[in-house]
Amino acid sequence: MKAKLEQIKTEALAQINSAGTLEELNDVRVNVLGKKGALTAVLKSMKDVAPEDRPKVGQMVNETREEVEKVLEEAIGKMEKAKREAQMKAEVIDVTLPAKKHNVGHRHPNTIAMEEVERIFIGMGYEVVEGPEVETDYYNFEALNIPADHPAKDEQDTFYINGDILLRTQTSGTQVHVMEQGKLPIRMIAPGRVFRSDEVDATHSPSFHQIEGLVIDKKITFADLKGTLAEFAKELFGEETKVKFRPHHFNFTEPSAEMDVSCFKCGGSGCRFCKGSGWIEILGCGMVHPNVLRMSNIDPEKYSGFAFGMGLERIALLKYEIDDMRLLYENDIRFLRQF
Amino acid sequence: MNTALSWIKAYVPQLECGDQEYTDAMTLSGTKVETYERLDKNLEKIYVGQILSIEKHPDADKLIVCQVDLGEKQLQIVTGAPNVKVGDKIPVVVDGGKVAGGHDGSPLPKDGIVIKNGKLRGVESYGMMCSIEELGSTRDFYPEAPENGIYIFPEDTQVGADAIEVLGLRDTVFEYEVTSNRVDCYSVLGIAREAAATFGKPFVPPVVEVKENGEKVEDYISVEVVDQDLCSRYCARVCTNIKIGPSPKWMQRRLAASGIRPINNLVDITNYVMEEYGQPMHAFDLDTIEGKKIIVKRAADGEEFETLDGQVRKLDSEMLMICDGAKQIGIAGIMGGENSKITDEVKTVLFEAATFNGANIRKSAKRLGLRTDASGKFEKGLDPRNAKAAIDRACQLIQELGCGEVVSGTVDVCAPLKELNRIPFDPVRVNDLLGTDISITTMLEIFERLELEYQEDTKELIIPSFRQDLEGIADIAEEVARFYGYDKIPMTLPSGEATTGKLPFKLRLEEKARDIAEFCGFSQGMCYSFESPKVFDKLLLAEDDQARNAIVISNPLGEDFSIMRTVPLNGILTSLATNYNRRNKDVRLYELGNVYLPKALPLTELPDERMQFTLGFYGEGDFFTMKGVIEEYFDALGLTKKLTYDPKAGKVFLHPGRQAKIIYEGVELGYLGEVHPEVLDNYDMGTKAYVAVLDMPSIEPFATFNRKFEGIAKYPAVSRDISMVVPKEILVGQIEEVICQRGGKILESYGLFDVYEGSQIKEGFKSVAYSITFRAKDRTLEEADVTAAMKKILNGLEAMGIELRG
């Protein structure tokens, strides 16, 4: 019996060794371990074994089975691995073939700049507000301390619908709408489309965008204006950005200033972007004029505030090095795809 | 405003600084320097030489060989200049020196031209004699220079001297950007006052003393101002025995640096005083004035008047005129008349220095289309006190420069001068407003520099009349800040109540629109809000179409920009056409922009501005691609109920069989479709295009970003496929409506998987197949549930004349 088992084992191992395919290995399993296999046959012949020897023989059969099974599993494992490797080898691709892109669309550079400005001010607690693009003279001029016959009205080259209704020349009128609602304090920005009768050329467009900002509260100071806009400039143009405030004049602010930022192309050493000066003019700002507060029923003795305004196109042109403003309104896909 | 630094230094004698230092300091104190230019920037080693001898060049007819004395040395110079003779004193540039340009006056090279020793036709030349063009200027500014020739100095010029210095070119011209509130700074004296305050140096304005001849001005002229509302002051003075000649070199140089061409002493003096004081002056030939009388009054509508440039101008009743006893002689503040202009034969001059109403001058100049240096100054609103000072200064110069005699006295018709403005000085408020801690002493010191007088007993600042811009404490704070230094004010962040930053719902919907459009391959365009009325024809809109009621701009840039758009399509179609004609493939664009719908025309109240989400594409894709984008967007906005597409959209600019209104809960939210082939022709597009327009205000009430999790189905679904033969005119939308209505609670979804029209289907019918899925949330469905639901659906379909196939 022992010899028989030994023989079964030897034969089985030899067959396993010589097997070249998974099918052949499977045949070994069936022939040796299967229901009709050699080992099963041995077990079936157990009745011929003396009862006292049966446990021993049973153990021998099991040992042989385990041994054959183990070798068989290993062989199968090895072969499966080899097969998979061969398959993967056959499946090698040229990873440098072109990508299958989804062709997503692109945002307009103006919008990218606008969203960036909005994000910065929303982070500082400002609400985004909109105002009408077709506006009355009152909101566009008078309530901003630009009375009738003021030369500033001519300077802005206004498009008129009639004597009283016009296309807004600045987003500043939105300040007045918000102040009139009487909810204080105010921290708002107002992005939007504005219009001035400039002929279309590389640096002018009769329609462009501004972002206006307004803060009104008790004890707002010019120092707060400087600090806020310096933070803004760092966020927009980079941590190392420096700012410079120059006195200027706007009817609706006093004191007024223009803010320059250190040139973000050359860092301030002078280049063609900053025309060699190291500085780039970015926005106008100032403390809200007491007349403006008064006209919107805010007591300038109790409240003060600051306002600022910037041209979105200017920021987009500078940031993305666009050299012709007309490109912004042509909507050539080859232009838009670059943003 | 352009001014030579030397002119500023004449009134701030202690001012010493470099050009860049001056630029920076003035800009930071509020007088912005735009640019500056050194007049001698490309002029080097140029001296005054005297020609000792002239010989013919041995080998060239047109050249001469000169021996030139330069004081320390003599040089041989060959020149082709036709105008020099022995004894002439001329500018000579020597070896290694530089001139600004060529002798022909062509544009100046950036870095000038270096001059070296050399040979001309074999004869050594050790330098070059210069024309005024080579020195970087023109005969306009050096009228004594010859045409086509070497500049010749006056006989008394010292040989060997620095020619640049002698020519007054060792100077820098600064260009200032003066803000509109600082009328006083449109003058040399105003800028000099700012410069003195900026650098803390004394300001020394000219001392005006007029030597008069004892005659009475009243014997020469009287003045009547009829329209005092437009003329608050009119000063007139008379000068006799006028001798016209060139003005002195120093005056010519200052005027030239300001860009004003020297003409003669009389004209130059009026221009000089206009620059110096910022007060325009006018000079009449007194002998042309009838009735010894000046009358200031409005013109009558339709009158005509010939200005001194020889043009006939049409007047109206809001234009102020200067008249004599018989006729009009000038348009006030804008331009004098041909009939009274100064000629070289003038004997007696009447000077006018007046203060006209700025707004009136501005409007008149605009209506006349005639904006002059004078009107540009008047329209800013001048200080009446300055008129008298300026006219006296002009008379002083007439007398001092030997141009004539000054008749005693001034005819001065003046409305009562406004009292000087007083502003209470509250240093605490100034510091509160600025966020600073500036001492009172510092503030008072700044006021003194600016000539603001502090009255201690009333604690008031007395504002000089030339500072019309200072009205209240905020203005005073700015004065303090300017001279304390904007850069020294600290940087802080606002304290006080915290506020929440937010983007309003409307803008969040627009942001989402951008996101979805871009995910779907559309790029954002921007189009103008105004367009041509021809757009309506291009879009095939009927003559009486509501959309033609557009707001018209009264002063547009041209017809193409003359109406406010009522339909958003023109922008996107124009942009698609631009791309198409530039051969860009598969272009998808979207725009978010307003249309402007008037409530009534002509406009009496503000129009309805409606944000439109407009999409358009050509190339890959079709109607259903566009439909997909819309549904993606509506999904993102939580519009989960069923959309209806009504093919009767009634849009004439769309293909009549390929358009649909988009309806949600009975509300029209927009439309989509294929662009009408005729419209494509109108836009020069040779390919199909699809557009969609969504009206954002209509969508907003349905939109939400709130979401609620409804669990993931636990029980299995059951699907049934149905195949049917449908009359052609029935839309699948109608079939879906039946499925929706009749499917009951257990209906989960349905999907169209086949539509077929063709040979196997009988005429007038199409084959349509749906897969319908049922599921219950709380149990496994039984056969009976599904059969019942299907039966209801099938009954409904059969009722529409639909045949079911096996």
Q: What does CATH list as the number for B422-488? A: 3.30.56.10
Same domain, A184 and A273: yes
Mean pLDDT of B670-675: 98
Which residue of chain B comes nearest to A131, CA vs CA?
Answer: B609
Q: Which helix (H) or strand (E) holds A235?
A: helix A222-237
C-beta atoms of A122 and B526 within 8 A: no
| CA-CA-CA-CA torsion sign (B40, B44, B48, B54) | negative
Q: Which of A37, A62, A90 is the last residue of a domain?
A: A90
Q: Is A228 on the interface with B (CB under 8 A)?
A: yes
In tens, the pLDDT along A27-37 reads: 888 888 888 88
Q: How confident is the model at residue B329 (pLDDT cuts 50, 70, 90)?
A: very high
C-beta atoms of A231 and B589 within 8 A: no
Question: Domain span at residue A213?
Answer: 109-336
As a whole number, the mean pLDDT across chain B is 94
Same domain, A143 and A68: no
In tens, the pLDDT along B443-484 reads: 999 999 999 999 999 999 999 999 999 999 999 999 999 999
CB-based burial, B199-223: b 16+ in 10 Å, e otherwise = bebebebeebebebeeeebeebbbb
Mean pLDDT of B22-30: 96
CA–CA dist B316, B364 (Å, integer): 9
Domain borders along chain B are 2-39+172-199, 44-166, 212-414, 422-488, 505-702, 718-805
Taking the CA of residue B226 and the nearest CA in chain A, the distance in Å comes to 22
Q: Which helix (H) or strand (E) holds B375?
A: helix B373-378
Report the pLDDT value the prediction gives residue B39, as an integer from 0 to 100: 92
In tens, the pLDDT along B387-435 reads: 999 999 999 999 999 999 999 999 999 999 999 999 999 999 999 999 9
Q: Over 70: is that where the pLDDT of A155 sits?
A: no
C-beta atoms of A159 and B607 within 8 A: no
Same domain, A55 and A183: no
Q: A 288-307 residues with CB below 8 A of B?
A: 289-290, 304
Report the pLDDT value the prediction gives residue B140, as an integer from 0 to 100: 86
Q: How confident is the model at residue A9 (pLDDT cuts 50, 70, 90)?
A: confident
Q: Is A183 on the interface with B (CB under 8 A)?
A: no
C-beta atoms of B603 and A254 within 8 A: no
Same domain, A60 and A181: no
CA–CA dist A43, A58 (Å, integer): 7
Q: Is the peptide bond before B556 cis (omega within 30 degrees of 0)?
A: no
Same domain, A197 and A298: yes
Which residue of chain A comes nearest to B437, CA vs CA?
Answer: A223
Report the pLDDT value the prediction gives residue B293, as an integer from 0 to 100: 96
The tokens describing B107, both together, are 């544009």
Q: Tell me: domain B212-414, CATH 3.50.40.10, correct?
A: yes
Mean pLDDT of B157-184: 94
Q: How confident is the model at residue A42 (pLDDT cuts 50, 70, 90)?
A: confident
Beta pairing, strands A186-195 & A127-128: parallel
Alpha helices in B525-602 (DSSP H): 534-538, 569-581
**CA contacts within 13 A on the Cβ side of A315:** 25
Same domain, A233 and A303: yes
Beta pairing, strands B523-524 & B588-597: parallel
Instruction: Specify the CATH number for B718-805; select among 3.60.15.10, 3.30.1490.20, 3.30.950.10, 3.30.70.380.
Output: 3.30.70.380
Mean pLDDT of A65-78: 90
> Under a CB-based contact definition with an 8 Å cutoff, are residues B101 and B86 in contact?
no
| CA-CA-CA-CA torsion sign (A184, A186, A191, A194) | positive
Q: Which of A33, A59, A90 is the last residue of a domain?
A: A90
Report the pLDDT value the prediction gives residue B454, as an integer from 0 to 100: 97
B44-166: which CATH architecture? Beta Barrel (2.40)
Q: Is A138 on the interface with B (CB under 8 A)?
A: no
Q: What does CATH list as the number for B2-39+172-199? A: 3.30.56.10
Give Cα A120 distance to the centre of its chain: 14
Q: Which of A2-16, A145-159, B54-68, B199-213 has the lowest mean pLDDT?
A: A145-159
Q: Which residues in chain A are closer than 8 Å to B380, comparing Cβ atoms?
A: 151
Same domain, A86 and A170: no
Q: Which of A43, A63, A90 is the last residue of a domain?
A: A90
Number of Cβ pairs closer than 8 Å across A and B?
Answer: 251
Report the pLDDT value the prediction gives residue A232, as an integer from 0 to 100: 97
Beta bridge pairs of residue B408: B216
Same domain, A188 and A268: yes
Q: Over 80: is that where the pLDDT of B105 sits?
A: no
Instruction: Quote ipTM for the complex.
Output: 0.88
CA–CA dist B335, B267 (Å, integer): 14
C-beta atoms of A160 and B27 within 8 A: no
Which residue of chain B comes nearest to A158, CA vs CA?
Answer: B555
Report the pLDDT value the prediction gives residue B106, as an integer from 0 to 100: 80
Phi-psi map region of A197: left, alpha, beta (phi>0 left; psi -120 to 50 alpha): beta
Report the pLDDT value the prediction gives residue A29, as an integer from 0 to 100: 87
Q: Among A222, A322, A328, pick the best mutation site for testing chain B contact (most B Cβ within 10 A).
A: A222
Same domain, A225 and A124: yes
Mean pLDDT of A327-338: 96
Q: Which of A268-282, A313-327, B637-651 has the lowest mean pLDDT?
A: A268-282
Q: How confident is the model at residue A116 (pLDDT cuts 50, 70, 90)?
A: very high
Is A104 among the domain residues? no
Mean pLDDT of B175-202: 95
| CA-CA-CA-CA torsion sign (A243, A244, A250, A253) | positive
Domain count, chain A: 2
Q: Which residues in chain A are closer than 8 Å to B578, comparing Cβ atoms?
A: 330-332
Q: Which of A151, A223, A329 lies closest to B436 in CB terms?
A: A223
Same domain, A259 and A133: yes
Is A219 among the domain residues? yes
Is A101 among the domain residues? no
C-beta atoms of B379 and A151 within 8 A: yes
In tens, the pLDDT along B362-378 reads: 999 999 999 999 999 99
> Under a CB-based contact definition with an 8 Å cutoff, are residues B265 and B336 in contact?
no
Q: How confident is the model at residue B806 (pLDDT cuts 50, 70, 90)?
A: low
In tens, the pLDDT along B728-737 reads: 999 999 999 9
Report the pLDDT value the prediction gives residue B797, as an integer from 0 to 100: 94
Phi-psi map region of A262: left, alpha, beta (phi>0 left; psi -120 to 50 alpha): beta
> Under a CB-based contact definition with an 8 Å cutoff, are residues A217 and B496 in contact?
yes
Same domain, A122 and A73: no
Q: Which of A128, A154, A334 lies closest to B507 in CB terms?
A: A128
CA–CA dist B210, B213 (Å, integer): 10
Same domain, A217 and A321: yes
Mean pLDDT of B701-712: 93
Q: Tell me: domain B505-702, CATH 3.30.930.10, correct?
A: yes
Is A97 among the domain residues? no
C-beta atoms of A222 and B434 within 8 A: yes
Q: Among B35, B380, B499, B579, pick the best mutation site for testing chain A contact (most A Cβ within 10 A).
A: B499
Q: Over 90: is that where the pLDDT of A5 sits?
A: no
Q: Over 90: is that where the pLDDT of A58 sits?
A: no
